[in-house]
A and B are shown apart, each in its own frame.
Chain A
Amino acid sequence: MSALGMLSIVTMMLALLLILIRLVQGPSDFDRLLAAETLTLGLIGLLMLRASTSDDRFYVDAALGLALFSFVGAVVLARYLGRGADDE
């Protein structure tokens, strides 16, 4: 792997660490949900990077599955958290 590829993987992992801090301390439920969603986004990017810089091509399938399912989970959780007495 080239030095630039290594540097971008390290940068992505640093970003995921910062998002993890927000996930742990985030004051409201919405902050945690947003951090989890961004964490999934970062994982998708990291998996695509890993698939292209190494010989293991199947990592990109994991990224595709993560992209498909995280959307459903995020929308359903946001609806659940935002439900009110007026729309039941």
Chain B
Amino acid sequence: MSEVVIQALEVSADVLALAGAVFFLISAIGLLRLPDIFCRIHAPTKAATLGVILLGLSSVLRSLGEGNLVWLEDLVIILFLFLTVPVSSQELASAASRRRSRQTDDENSLENH
């Protein structure tokens, strides 16, 4: 690969890494400041996944520039996160809503008696 292409890959990898880190920071602020659990699930599942995927893409570009095969493993991680993060957060949200509905049922039955 020519020197210019390697330089361009390095610079774009740096920019992608910074963008991913900023997205992750925004999602962490959201996790800290949003009022209840159903709002808080929303922050990490979208912004944090995007942030981590951008970090992985920057790693892909950098290893392409250096000419080693780490980018294959990075792609596997990205694909796996893309598939599993929605599943686990859906599971968490349904568990939280099941517990909340059980608690409100208990309160209603207490009021009726």
A residues sitting closer than 8 Å to B (CB atoms) are 2, 4-5, 7-9, 11-12, 14-16, 18-19, 21-22, 28, 30-31, 33-35, 37-38, 41-42, 44-46, 48-49, 51-53, 57, 60-61, 63-64, 67-68, 71, 74-75, 78-79, 81-82, 84-85
Smallest Cβ-Cβ distance to A58: which chain B residue: B70
Size bracket, chain B contacts: 35 or more
| Contact for A22 among B10, B32, B70, CB less than 8 A | B32
Contacts of A44 in B (CB 8 A): 52, 77, 81
CB distance from A15 to the nearest CB of B (A): 4
| B interface residues, Cβ below 8 angstroms from A | 10, 13-15, 17-18, 20-22, 24-25, 27-29, 31-32, 37, 40-41, 44, 48-49, 51-52, 55-56, 58-59, 62-63, 68, 70, 73-74, 76-77, 80-81, 84-85, 87-89, 91-92, 94-96, 98-99, 102
